[in-house]
């Protein structure tokens, strides 16, 4: 584990609310319990439960969203999540989150994202680099007393949303490009919603130059998987339930796959870890990026995910190093950031023996 921790890493698939610390969520629940708004012991037991099906996860997200409704809390969990990733030596983080409205606390999708951005600024443990190239230059031009982490945001469209709501999210992402928003994600309960609902928003995002990643094939849905692959997103997440013809299309497409081992195992979207499609993707030299998905919910971190890949699929340190560095090619930030990250990897060049 120590070697995997020291390895510089790139995280491209992490949901903000799924990455919140359990201790913070329990603390927030306890506060609501004291006010008599929830039954704290019951909520605590749900928050700390180990194994969860995919359906239970989505119920849990609804519960977490009840705990993280106001701007200050969003800012706090963002700060903590970035510090936690940085502690695992993540040097580039693409954090995704679903902008939410909540009239009762005056929250709009825009103010939600602003609260997330305030979280980036609140980070103390490391120096966050985000936003426009000018911002990058400003930070990199100063003497840095702390390790750095690049943080970029993806705005998620929830599959429960309408076409109009999805377009609103894309518009917001376009407005916030200079603040570090680099792309759009489609996520949420895969049993809910229809691909065609989201196509207009995703086409708009593409037309305007935002990058796109889709949760694809978490449950069997051949028509949707085919349509998603035909859309040619810049990346997909999961790709667990693909039939043979879809699998062939994926391999031909070279679309990078964000692989989330613990998440897939815990939610049983993949029955046994040893049979995970990571092995065939890796053998086919298909681009893959090891990611966490929801480290808070699945009690994991990116270091553990690398170690797990090593143990389950017999990867050597040099293979892990290759995977970590190669992930830089699949980030949504521009070429300049890619070049800066490559320099960090080259300088770190950990001895693989």
Q: Enumerate binding residues for ligand 5GP (CB under 6 A).
A: 15-18, 61, 97-98, 156, 158, 187-188, 190, 215, 218, 263, 293-294
Q: Which is nearer to ligand 5GP, 28 or 328 (CB)?
A: 28
C-alpha 4/C-alpha 307 separation (Å) is: 6
Residue 65 near residue 102 (C-beta atoms within 8 A): no
Give me the catalytic one of 80, 88, 94, 218.
218
Q: For residues 64 and 68, what is the distance between their CA atoms, to the nearest angstrom?
A: 6
To which residue do tokens 């929801």 refer? 294
Which residue's CB is nearer to ligand 5GP, number 67 or number 281?
67
Q: Is 243 a catalytic residue?
A: no
Rounded to a whole number of angstroms, the minimum distance from the CB of residue 284 to ligand 5GP is 24
Least distance between ligand 5GP and beta carbon 258 (Å) = 10
Shortest reach from residue 263's CB to ligand 5GP, in Å:
5
> Which of residues 8 and 237 has its CB atom nearest to ligand 5GP in the complex?
237
- Compute the distance between CA of residue 159 and CA of residue 258 in angstroms, rounded to an integer: 19
When the beta carbons of 13 and 330 are compared against ligand 5GP, the nearer one is: 13
CB of 297 to ligand 5GP, least distance (A): 7
102: left (phi over 0), alpha (psi -120 to 50) or beta: beta
Pair of tokens at residue 4: 């995997």
Own/partner long-range contacts of 202-207 (Cβ < 8 Å, ≥24 apart) = 202/157, 202/166, 202/170, 202/231, 202/233, 204/167, 204/170, 204/171, 205/170, 205/173, 205/174
- Catalytic residue positions, numbered: 218
């Amino acid at each position: 584990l120590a070697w995997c921790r020291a390895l510089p890493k790139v995280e491209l698939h992490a949901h903000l609310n799924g990455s919140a610390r359990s201790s913070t969520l329990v603390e927030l629940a306890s506060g609501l319990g004291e006010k008599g708004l929830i039954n704290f012991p019951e909520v605590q037991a749900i928050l700390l439960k180990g194994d969860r099906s995919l359906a239970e996860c989505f119920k849990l997200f609804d519960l977490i969203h009840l705990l993280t409704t106001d701007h200050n809390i969003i800012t706090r969990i963002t700060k903590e999540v970035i510090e936690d990733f940085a502690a695992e030596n993540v040097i580039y983080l693409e954090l995704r989150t679903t902008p939410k409205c909540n009239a009762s606390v005056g929250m709009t999708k825009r103010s939600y994202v602003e609260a997330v951005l305030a979280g980036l600024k609140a980070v103390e443990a490391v120096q966050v680099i985000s936003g426009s190239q000018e911002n990058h230059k400003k930070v990199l031009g100063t003497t840095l007393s702390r390790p750095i982490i690049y943080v970029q945001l993806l705005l998620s469209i929830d599959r429960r949303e309408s076409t109009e709501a999805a377009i609103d999210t894309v518009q917001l992402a376009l407005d916030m490009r200079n603040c570090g928003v680099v792309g759009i994600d489609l996520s949420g309960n895969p049993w809910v919603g229809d691909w065609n609902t989201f196509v207009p928003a995703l086409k708009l995002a593409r037309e305007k130059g935002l990058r796109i990643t889709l949760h694809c094939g978490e449950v069997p849905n051949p028509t949707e998987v085919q349509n998603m692959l035909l859309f040619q997103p810049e990346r997909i997440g999961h790709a667990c339930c693909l039939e043979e013809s879809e699998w062939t299309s994926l391999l031909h497409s070279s679309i990078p796959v964000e692989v989330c081992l613990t998440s897939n195992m815990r939610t049983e979207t993949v029955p046994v870890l040893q049979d995970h499609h990571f092995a065939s993707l890796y053998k086919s030299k298909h681009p893959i990026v090891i990611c966490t998905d929801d480290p808070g919910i699945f009690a994991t971190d990116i270091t553990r995910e690398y170690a797990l890949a090593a143990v389950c699929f017999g990867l050597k340190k040099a293979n892990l190093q290759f995977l970590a560095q190669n992930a830089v090619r699949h980030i949504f930030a521009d070429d300049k950031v890619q070049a800066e990250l490559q320099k960090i990897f080259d300088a770190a060049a950990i001895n693989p023996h």
